Structure 1
């Protein structure tokens, strides 16, 4: 899974000469919280709600409303944008993107190609959407959780064969290795929850959750 699979490609961007007020209007119109700043298709900065707020005069200022508006009307995106922007390549793994965002404590990564051209952007919301897709949240079916006290090679193959022999298809598999046990979560393309649970239990697996999933509206 690469960043390009989940990044937003239809970008709303700002130009360096754009006035702050126009950037704010653009964010409100598209209901977004940041704008990549682009010049000749290349990323040169990033402007966010936070950087705009920092640029606004303090309420304690002695400036009049007229003077404040005058200053803001003269201030451009280039004047306040973040210039040292962390980016990522579109072919990088999604996990790399998540790691960078966690390490740098940031909520957005502009995506630039080998020519340094901006080709997308990936945000916290894109990561959440990716997780929902990967986990099969919107696919419905049956979710089964197995407690494996002693993990061993080939156990996933054994489980998959058992289900396939009974004509059940696995949609997703998530393995959570804990200190004393391993949890295997399966999402199966079937609404026969009780039957699936009985098959796995009869084969000696510890099924501690078997839930019929409904597709979200």
Structure 2
């Protein structure tokens, strides 16, 4: 799955010569926590977040009235507080790459740009979470099996073949290397009459089944 499959478009944006007050009202009205800053050609010039606006706003202990505070925010421009160094991704990047960048840079959303740095969309943590739910088949009733196995070539193929021979459809399969020569294989499989019998067959093949759960799909 790629960024273009999950990104939001069109994107709510703002210009750098607009006021901080306008940025705050747009965010509140659209329930956003960040806005890409673009020029007339839709090229990304920066990004402004609710935290940036909060830091530029008078503190709660200020003696300024609401009118005075809004007046000051109306005079401050987006370009005065926006971040000019923007972390972005492209439409053909993978969702794993986006998840890594969101995690590494501790941000909630990333602008999606083309080769000319023009804004194409935006991808958020929520978009990533939703795609993981879809990829993992978490919206379907299933049998979840966790298997401890040697970390070597052919293990996944052998386990998959055991399930194939028993007529069990694999919804998703994830492996995690433990770093000690073993791996954890987590399978979500469609429920059928052979569901629980497959556990014994996997064990008979020499694998340790560490966890088994029957799960209802998440709505």
Give TM-score scaled by structure 1 length.
0.87
Give the distance between the partners of 1:146 and 1:49, measured in 2 at CA.
44
Report if aligned partners of 1:42, 1:117 keep a CA contact under 8 Å in 2. yes
Q: Which residue of 2 aligns with 1:84?
A: 85
What's the secondary structure of 1:200's corresponding residue?
Answer: helix
> Displacement, 1:83?
1.7
> Displacement, 1:61?
5.0
Give the distance between the partners of 2:12 and 2:87, measured in 1 at CA.
18
Q: Which residue of 2 aligns with 1:214?
A: 216
What's the secondary structure of 2:211's corresponding residue?
Answer: strand
Give TM-score scaled by structure 2 length.
0.86
User: Could you tell which deviates more after superposition, 110-119 or 132-141?
Assistant: 132-141
> Displacement, 1:71?
2.0
Runs of 4+ in 1 over 4 A off after TM superposition: 59-66
Give the distance between the partners of 2:137 and 2:67, measured in 1 at CA.
55
Report if aligned partners of 2:168, 2:192 keep a CA contact under 8 Å in 1. no
Q: Which runs of 5+ in 1 are unaligned?
A: none
- Alignment root-mean-square deviation, CA: 2.2
User: Could you tell which deviates more after superposition, 169-178 or 105-114?
Assistant: 105-114
Report if aligned partners of 2:91, 2:114 keep a CA contact under 8 Å in 1. yes
> Displacement, 1:132?
2.1
Report if aligned partners of 1:2, 1:93 keep a CA contact under 8 Å in 2. yes
Q: Which residue of 1 aligns with 2:98?
A: 97
> Displacement, 1:168?
1.1
Give the distance between the partners of 1:200 and 1:211, measured in 2 at CA.
15
Give the distance between the partners of 1:154 and 1:210, measured in 2 at CA.
22
Report if aligned partners of 2:48, 2:81 keep a CA contact under 8 Å in 1. yes
What's the secondary structure of 1:96's corresponding residue?
Answer: helix
Q: Which residue of 1 aligns with 2:17?
A: 17
> Displacement, 1:116?
1.4
Change (3 A) 1:64 1:196: same
Count of matched residue pairs = 216
Q: Which residue of 2 aligns with 1:198?
A: 200
Q: Which residue of 1 aligns with 2:167?
A: 167
Q: Is residue 110 from structure 1 mapped to residue 111 from structure 2 by the alignment?
A: yes
Report if aligned partners of 1:142, 1:191 keep a CA contact under 8 Å in 2. no
Q: Which residue of 2 aligns with 1:119?
A: 120
Report if aligned partners of 2:21, 2:70 keep a CA contact under 8 Å in 1. no
Report if aligned partners of 1:45, 1:84 keep a CA contact under 8 Å in 2. yes
Q: Which runs of 5+ in 2 are unaligned?
A: none
Give the distance between the partners of 2:111 and 2:56, measured in 1 at CA.
22
User: Could you tell which deviates more after superposition, 42-51 or 67-76?
Assistant: 67-76
